[in-house]
Amino acid sequence: MPDTRQATAPAGPTTQMSPALKIVLSVLLALHVTALVVCPWSIERSPLAGRMWNLFRPYVEAAFLNHGYHFFAPQPGPSHLVRYELELTDGKKLAGEIPNLKEEQPRLLYHRHFMLTEFLNMLYGNVNGDGPVAAPPAGGDVPAANPAPRVDALAGIEAVPGRETLPPSEQAQRFLAAQQALFDAYCRSYATHLLRKYDAQRVTLRLVRHNLPYPQELAERRVKSLADASLYVELFQKSYTAEDL
């Protein structure tokens, strides 16, 4: 009886990592995971978290790992939207807001519009400070606020060899002027888009902060819902016409 068993090919040589390479990869992986933990941890502003953030900051920013963790935890802040009022060429008026979950689908499109308004608020805050913050209820914790213009982006700037170093006061003035110019440019860009989209002759933009209610306010039913009108604070308002742009 013939042998029907198939001959199996001999197994090829197997490649194994050396112990030294395993150690190196393990250390790199541990450092990467630590960087992921440091990002949200640094929001706590503790001295240890601050030192860890300064240590890992170059890698975190180079790898684009520094996402907006402050929006989610441990103390989520307010969100921002842009409300607009349009005067159409036929005399009718139209109002809307950005972002708008009813109009912007799928959800990723809504998120992109949400990032536009948050970026605009960041520019506004760099020039004007954090602006109005919802007052805490009696006995509640006072939220962190920054009423003065923020020039912390200038901290740690090192002199460039061969380039004149400006006094800190002049650096701050230039920084604020640049941020103001950016804010104005983005407002004009948003206004131009809305005027063209709706064939309007005038648009009024309002940057609005949507504060979060305090637990005590919800428990006492002083705030009925997250959409309560008392939670909205107007930060900025300006009108634009087609001739202005």
82-133 pLDDT, tens digit per residue, is 999 999 989 899 999 999 999 998 988 999 999 999 999 999 998 887 644 4
Close Cβ partners of 65 (under 8 Å, ≥ 6 residues apart): 35, 36, 39, 59
pLDDT band at 205 (very low <50, low <70, confident <90, very high): very high
Task: Give pLDDT, residue 232.
Answer: 95
Return the closest-CA partner of residue 155 out of 140, 170, 172.
172
Q: Is 174 left (phi over 0), alpha (psi -120 to 50) or beta?
A: alpha
Task: Give pLDDT, residue 172.
Answer: 82
Task: Give pLDDT, residue 221.
Answer: 86
Question: 51 forms bridges with which residues in the sheet?
Answer: none
Residue position matching structure tokens 């008026």:
93
Task: Give pLDDT, residue 34.
Answer: 94
pLDDT band at 156 (very low <50, low <70, confident <90, very high): very low
162-201 pLDDT, tens digit per residue, is 555 667 788 888 888 999 999 999 999 999 999 999 999 9
Contact 37, 48 (CB under 8 A): no
Q: How far apart are CA 30 and CA 22, in angstroms?
A: 12
9-20 pLDDT, tens digit per residue, is 555 566 788 989
